[in-house]
Structure 1
């Protein structure tokens, strides 16, 4: 079987079998205004399913109200079940699987003092919270073991609700600077107990969360982990990233999605290229902060190249036998064949599918060999516009009104 044929063959991930190896990677859709699981969000993922992907991942399903980064993010709770069910029904109608990315922001939150219930946002370590400068949350709190137990329970309960909502998989987010990666990264974890110090200790709490979620739903759902192989120029190295993968494998994760970098500290390590230089000041605080730090710490213009995380991902591939999804700039049949030929089990894509939800079908039929996506990253700046994430080149955004209507209405 050729690499191209293999890409379109079924893939077993734990108890789940996908119709092919293409996965829509989680990218904050910006379509949950006021926390509503909206018709726009449901339509976005149904379009991905109709376009041929084997699975689509709903980004940032918070474990609790305090687990959000913004108020415009959905929470996996009883109030959202009917709307999430409408979303998963739409995905299943086209033969694809639906995955809920389960996340807690920790100190990476822009919720104001009147919204966040805790006096200080929780994190692996206390002290100054640079992200909190944007929301008046200048200090963060080091989690106690009781608080860690409570958050682990939140992940378990959210995963159970994902199962009830019809999701086929959950993706535990251990990357990009959110709570679980705040334990894994030495830039953020300064603990001196059993959960800080060496990489083995720093990954202990996230591994415990994974183990509990596997015990709770692993017989019914694929339990996937997305993590950052490195933090970027500073912090975790690829050697650390390999150790994380080995621990995930030892705990029994059904698959790992290999991402990179941190949302603020290392933008180009995450996207493989710089955020766009815009004349207007972006309204979203993450983008403003990321662009400011990028201007201070990164080269002025990092140029995109296809499969830009290949070298790092190959280090992980050689170290573990568990299923791995390659993520990082696949834009063509050639890029797909390279990743499959390198031994990766699945291809996770974001920007190419934001550009054209039908990209997978077009690859399969031979109607196209390469995405028209230019990796300009303008879609990143579109996340918090009324219409949500869309491509400025194809002007394919959904009607903004759809993002204010409940999916089940």
Structure 2
């Protein structure tokens, strides 16, 4: 008989200095709701609806820590000028009884922005930039110590700005092929100094970032790390590596890990657990993004969705650490959620399911529903490029007019 009974997914939990009312997190998903580089009224409406629907903590995705850190031109960026718009969002979330997390990130060489302060996009290593093939930036630049110190400061400053904007947590993005992932991954990191080679060395810079953020806001906010527990591609990190990464992030003091997987360029199906359909063909005016989407459809292996598709990998992380872990990957029924809790995970992070049904958590709690309507078709990913931003194809599209208006506009 277990000495530690399985907690209910509807029970509260402490994450660092923060207490969540239940175990459900809205995972970060790029909503395409920042047309002017700040949260739109449509983005406010979405996150308010998610917490009104029962989600304890909703994550605002891809908040760049600097202008150079953006992936796309209209990406959210945490600067003093944007704070009123972020504050409008966090105020709306708090009015609905929920909490908000800002996902802070730097794209590194995974960027389509040519205007920058450096000659080439920064990364762990220099040389050929395969992402840059689509935007004419064919080379990337290895970061030196001065670059690293600047980025560390950028992350810490962004975390402090997030606190000023009313966020309750920050999520440091260490996965999917963005800058910190480019240090962690042997696919990108070819350095021969103290930041390359062994996994411990490859984690050295991401750990510096984590420490700086903890020092900046860790007493006031939950500091979360999202990373790829397996990269899902030959030569990349395995789930065994993912377990070691978790140990190092636990040692550094992270309050929670969100267990994602895959890489944007090399293994997108590992991330989503299923292939992108032929119907995923929203008309994209930006030719660079249109080309990227076309290549992705042609090169993706055919993978059929199955619930809890990352569980086998996530178990290895659970066995390696004692800290709180949020499982992410194919939980779309009450039985799956209960299984995750029984396996010792502390929280459930969901993306597509909550885009399909903003009130899914309340439906589960009341017994009104057990199974999500989400079919894991992945068409919501392409919907981020529509005028109204991301929405489920089974429901109504986003409001294009609201999506044109900055959140704090009168």
TM-score (normalised: structure 1): 0.96
How far does residue 278 in structure 1 lie from its aligned partner after superposition?
3.2
Q: Distance in 2 between matches of 1:165 and 1:15?
A: 17
Q: Aligned-pair RMSD on alpha carbons?
A: 1.5
* 1:85-104 alignment runs, 5 A limit: 85-104=87-106
Query: Structure 1, residues 4-32: CA drift from partner, whole Å, max 9, x if none?
Result: x6100001000000000000000001100
Query: Structure 1, residues 14-60: CA drift from partner, whole Å, max 9, x if none?
Result: 00000000000000011001312211111110010111001000000
Query: Structure 1, residues 275-328: CA drift from partner, whole Å, max 9, x if none?
Result: 1213847526457435525634x53x2000111110000000000001000000
Q: Structure 1 residue 179 and structure 2 residue 179: aligned?
A: yes
* Correspondent of 1:33 among 32, 35, 38: 35
| CA distance 1:357–1:281, shift in 2 (3 Å) | closer
Q: Structure 1 residue 71 and structure 2 residue 61: aligned?
A: no
* Correspondent of 1:289 among 288, 292, 295: 292
Partner-residue secondary structure (3-state), 1:102: strand
Q: Which residue of 2 aligns with 1:123?
A: 123
Q: Which residue of 2 aligns with 1:153?
A: 153
Q: Which residue of 1 aligns with 2:249?
A: 248
Aligned pair count reads 403
Q: Distance in 1 between matches of 2:263 and 2:293?
A: 10
Q: Which residue of 2 aligns with 1:388?
A: 389
* 1:91-240 alignment runs, 5 A limit: 91-112=93-114, 115-234=115-234, 235-240=236-241
Contact 2:384 2:391 (C-alpha < 8 Å) held by counterparts? yes
Contact 1:63 1:75 (C-alpha < 8 Å) held by counterparts? yes
| CA distance 1:246–1:286, shift in 2 (3 Å) | farther
Contact 2:233 2:266 (C-alpha < 8 Å) held by counterparts? no
Q: Distance in 2 between matches of 1:84 and 1:92?
A: 12
Could you list the runs of 5+ residues in structure 2 that have no partner in the other structure?
none
Contact 1:264 1:289 (C-alpha < 8 Å) held by counterparts? no
Q: Distance in 2 between matches of 1:280 and 1:22?
A: 31
Q: Which residue of 1 aligns with 2:310?
A: 309
Q: Distance in 1 between matches of 2:201 and 2:357?
A: 42
| CA distance 1:35–1:149, shift in 2 (3 Å) | same
Contact 1:287 1:381 (C-alpha < 8 Å) held by counterparts? no
